[in-house]
Amino acid sequence: MSSGRKILCIIPARGGSKGIPGKNVRIVGGKPLLAHSIEHARYASAVTRIVVSTDDQNISRVATEYGAETVWRPPEISGDTASSESALVHVLNHLETTEKYIPDLVIFLQCTSPVRKREDVQRAIDTLDRQQADSLLSVNGSHRFLWRIEKEQPVSLNYDYKNRPRRQDRPPEYAENGSLYIFKPSILRTHNNRLGGKIALYEMDYWSMFEIDDLEDMALCDWILTQQGTVSQKPPLPADVGLVVLDFDGVLTDNRVLVLQDGQEAVICDRGDGLGLSLLRQAGVGVVVLSKEKNPVVEARCRKLNIPCHQGIDDKITLLKRILGELDLGAERVVYMGNDVNDLECMRLAGCAVAPRDAHSAALAEADWIISRPGGQGAVRELCDAILVSRGTR
């Protein structure tokens, strides 16, 4: 299980690419190349920290914009000949020296391999755990017949060309695709290698084998990401959002409650969500909270955010219809974010139903758009940013 573990994702991204200048911040599939790997890491619920190792200000800016930290890479390990292992070790040494931070696991994502499914990183972690392995690499299944030139003569490597086997009769073979690796820090420090100990394989789909080394690769990956649906499509927001309606627990919080010894309750919220809602209101979009729970903490948080809230609401749909009537606002202009079964009716009424990625399965099934972040950890901010972009105010 991943609970309680410190799982660090490191994405090396230097700025000195000669083949494609500025490669790691070039737009591919609608966003900077680096952003795809950051978002894949953010989508994995077990990942607790994301660091980009770089020597470039533009890369650092993109890293910050998409929710990662930067560890600055020194010149001696920033050149063409520097190994990925040197960057990985540098990050681990830096965090241990400056913060006494030692992760339990390290995820190494190569940002030049942007074609992944959103769930790949988490599934790879689960694979390593299930097999009780020390390290893991991502692969693609391969059925190719391989040849090599030896002493100026071609030699078949993985089959006997005189007795060509049927594909279904061959043992499974795998090609390392370079997309993601997982290892315990002790493996890297002992072997100076990302792999060691008991090694597990995580098989990815066909499209993940493509990586970017030149402009042709970039064009191909851009096409794959755009046409094959491996990146989130444009959020299905109404053309003119007039009101954003939010549940509280599981949306503005992570759905947990802290019960103190005197019976008082506390919740954890995300400051980024608060700033996003402030920017949304400044842009003229209304916001309201509908909560089944009745608790002073709900009122206190909403008062601080300067947004109206309604607590102890068992019949949310009736209240929402009343609010829309008072505002003379059509339901098609409403965005509703909920996370559980008591939100379903409102989600069906709204022009766009949204759910955090960790919502109840029924809410996920009802959602028009599933946010990449969990509730209470930036889900509301992601929604706010998308609305602001759609209105041309960001």
In the chain, which residues have pLDDT < 50? Answer: 1-2, 229-233
- Over the stretch 293-310, which tens digit does the pLDDT of each residue have? 888 888 889 999 999 999
Contact 372, 43 (CB under 8 A): yes
Query: Alpha-carbon distance 23 to 266, whole Å?
Result: 45
Contacts of 88 (CB under 8 A, 6+ apart): 10, 12, 53, 106, 108, 188, 194
Query: Alpha-carbon distance 241 to 351, whole Å?
Result: 9
Question: Which homologous superfamily is 7-142+171-227 in?
Answer: Spore Coat Polysaccharide Biosynthesis Protein SpsA; Chain A (3.90.550.10)
Q: Where are the alpha helices (DSSP H) in 44-119?
A: 57-65, 84-99
For the range 20-26, what are the long-range contacts, defined as Cβ-Cβ under 8 Å and sequence gap of 24 or more?
Answer: 20/212, 20/214, 20/215, 20/218, 22/58, 23/112, 23/212, 23/218, 24/54, 24/56, 24/59, 24/62, 24/111, 24/112, 25/58, 25/59, 25/62, 26/218
Domain ranges of the chain: 7-142+171-227, 243-390
Contact 209, 120 (CB under 8 A): no
Instruction: Please tell me if the domain spanning 7-142+171-227 has the same topology as the one spanning 243-390.
Output: no
Contacts of 129 (CB under 8 A, 6+ apart): 1, 2
Contact 250, 298 (CB under 8 A): no
Output the CA–CA distances (angstroms, integers) from residue 80 to 140, 186, 211, 218, in the order listed.
27, 26, 17, 19
Contact 309, 288 (CB under 8 A): yes
Query: Alpha-carbon distance 205 to 207, whole Å?
Result: 6
Burial of 340 (0-12, 13-18, 19+ CB in 10 A): middle
pLDDT for position 131: 96
pLDDT for position 1: 40
Q: Which of 122, 119, 111 is nearest to 52 (CA)?
A: 111
Does the structural domain 243-390 have CATH classification 3.40.50.2300? no
In the chain, what percentage of residues exceed pLDDT 90? 59
**pTM greater than 0.75 (yes/no):** no
133: tokens are: 């392995």
